[in-house]
Amino acid sequence: MSDDLCFRPATELAALVRRREVSARELLEAHLTRIEAVNPGLNAIVTLDAEGARAAADAADAALAAGETVGPLHGLPVAHKDTHATAGMRTTWGSPLHADDVPARDELVVARLKAAGAIRVGKTNVPEFAAGSNTFNPVFGATHNPWRHGLSAGGSSGGAAAALAAGLVPLAEGSDMGGSLRNPAAFCNVVGLRPTPGRVPTWPSTLAWSQLSVQGPMGRTVADVALQLSATAGPDRRVPISLQDGGAVFAPPLESSLTGLRVAWAPDLGGRVPVDPTIVSVLAESAAVFEKLGAVVDEDCPDLSLADEVFGVLRAWSFEASYGDLVRRSPEKVKETIRWNASVGAALSGADIGRAEAAHTKLFEEVVGFFERYDVLLAPTTQVLPFRVEVEYPTEVAGVPQHDYLGWMRSCTLVSATGCPALSVPGGFTPDGLPVGLQVVAAPRADRRLLEVGHAFEQATGFGRRRPPL
């Protein structure tokens, strides 16, 4: 019964708790038992507060017994990314510089999950300062993939994805600049949503006007992701780009009919990214699934020729703004890839940034026009399969050399630059059992429709129902 609870959908668990068929304390204890048994081999949850979680679960049960009105996530255990501030619980950013930091307050995404009734269990592992898509750092070490020990869980929300896949928590959250919600979701056979910028407001933030990095939900099903989004989306007056739609518009149930849906399939994003042939082979079946569901599928892709410049310049600029002073003051305390990215940002001129912003505008206009002809774009989430955890990043993709730590992630970074919401859903398995993620992209602000499409594909295929052989 304990493990059964740990793998049920969050939507189902929320209903069981609300009906008092399962107590919040019982649900928590099942997950704590699972964490104790499985997490030592994964290193997905790096800070655990069992006693604090037990107190919160008892309070949740008391609230239900008293007939109080409760939130949509009431009694559900949740783990927070270790780059998101949690009051009274250490937040390390995967950096020795912050190994003992204990914030005084929750940041907005954490506060909203708590307000919705979620029970904070602990923190999930990240790369140092969330830079790169392989989860390891000098504070806690590496997170292993639940599908095969010794392989990467992806990143930077790798600890979150591994925890979900292994049944350690029913919900987790993360952030995504260049694929940090989507890439680990693909590597671990779970669901990760990069929402439209401003959909889940980020506060506090050094760069409040930037739209490159977003926060978002992860889960084992699309409906679970929608449930979490219903609690975390919505405007905040302190966040200048926050969108006005309330979170309730994203709540399940999700429609599943795709009759007449216009789908573009872009196996290499219009020839712009090399992709492991095994991934393309696995995902080639996806187009047929959509056609069987009533969609019309064509091979097509928006013109993403400006996306590399947009993402590269704006990311480097943000790294200089966020880490430049630290890199210059204590370079030996920051990993090389962060030093490199910040140095690229420091070398930018005003003209460079101006050209990138102009390109950003043209790119947005391109994708808006593209989504007048199509409802969704399908593409591989990742260009490579999970690799050895000791390898910081792949230096070659399908025989093509990659010249920096971002090159192998371009299937995600090109999409990040567009401002479109993007969802990674389980897309199948290789012959030797490694998961492959399908990336579904929709028009800016079409997050609800994106979730509906992903849900329909998920229900038709059942790939997400497979469990790792732990």
Output the CA torsion sign for 438, 441, 445, 449. negative
User: Is the pLDDT score of 21 beyond 70?
Assistant: yes
* Interval 339-350: pLDDT, tens: 999 999 999 999
* Options 156, 230, 242, 322, the catalytic residue: 156
Say yes or no to pLDDT of 357 above 90. Answer: yes
% of the chain residues with pLDDT over 70: 100
- 180, 230, 242, 411: which is the annotated catalytic residue? 180
Query: Which of 23, 81, 175, 242 is an active site residue?
Result: 81
Percent pLDDT > 90 in the chain is 99
CA pair distance 301, 48, nearest whole angstrom:
44
- The answer to whether residue 40 scores a pLDDT higher than 80 is yes
Q: What is the dihedral of CA 398, 404, 408, 413, to 10 degrees?
A: -140
Confirm whether 230 is a catalytic residue: no
pLDDT in tens, 233-291: 999 999 999 999 999 999 999 987 999 999 999 999 999 999 999 999 999 999 999 99
The whole-number pLDDT of residue 166 equals: 98
| pLDDT exceeds cutoff 90 at 383 | yes
> 268 φ, ψ to 5°?
-130, 25
The DSSP secondary-structure symbol of 106 reads -
CB 183 within 8 A of CB 382: yes
282-336 pLDDT tens trace: 999 999 999 999 999 999 999 999 999 999 999 999 999 999 999 999 999 999 9
- Round to whole Å and give the CA distance between 454 and 186: 14
Average pLDDT over residues 404-430: 98
Q: pTM, whole model, 2 decimals? A: 0.98
In angstroms, what CA-CA distances link 333 with 157, 214, 329, 343, 369? 22, 26, 9, 15, 45
Q: Active-site residue 286, yes or no?
A: no
Domain 2-465: give its CATH architecture. Answer: Alpha-Beta Complex (3.90)
Q: Nearest-CA neighbor of 120 among 130, 109, 128?
A: 109
Asked if 33 contacts 168 with a C-beta cutoff of 8 angstroms, the reply is: no
Closest CA to 185 of 395, 382, 17, 43: 382
Contacts of 79 (CB under 8 A, 6+ apart): 45, 120, 121, 122, 123, 124, 159, 160, 163, 168, 169, 171, 172
Mean pLDDT of 115-133: 98
Q: How sure is the predictor about 395, in pLDDT bands with cuts at 50, 70 and 90?
A: very high
Reference 380, options 422, 418, 430, 436; nearest CA is 436
Are the beta carbons of 307 and 367 closer than 8 angstroms?
no
- C-beta of residue 380 within 8 angstroms of C-beta of residue 411: yes
Q: Give the mean model confidence (pLDDT) for residues 220-229.
A: 98
- Residue 100 pLDDT exceeds 60: yes
Q: What average pLDDT does the chain have?
A: 97
Specify the residue for token string 């690229």. 344
pLDDT of 2 strictly over 80: no
Residue 384: phi and psi, rounded to 5, are -135, 160
Across the strands, what pairs with 336? none
Amino acid of residue 297: V
Half-sphere exposure of residue 192: CA atoms within 13 angstroms, side-chain side? 41
pLDDT at res. 256: 78
> What pLDDT does 3 receive?
78
411 catalytic? Reply is no
Give the pLDDT mean for 35-43: 98
By the 8 A CB rule, do 74 and 114 touch? no
Distance CA 99, CA 181 (A): 23
**173-204: pLDDT as tens digits:** 999 999 999 999 999 999 999 999 999 999 99
Amino acid at 45: I
pLDDT tens string 147-180: 999 999 999 999 999 999 999 999 999 999 999 9
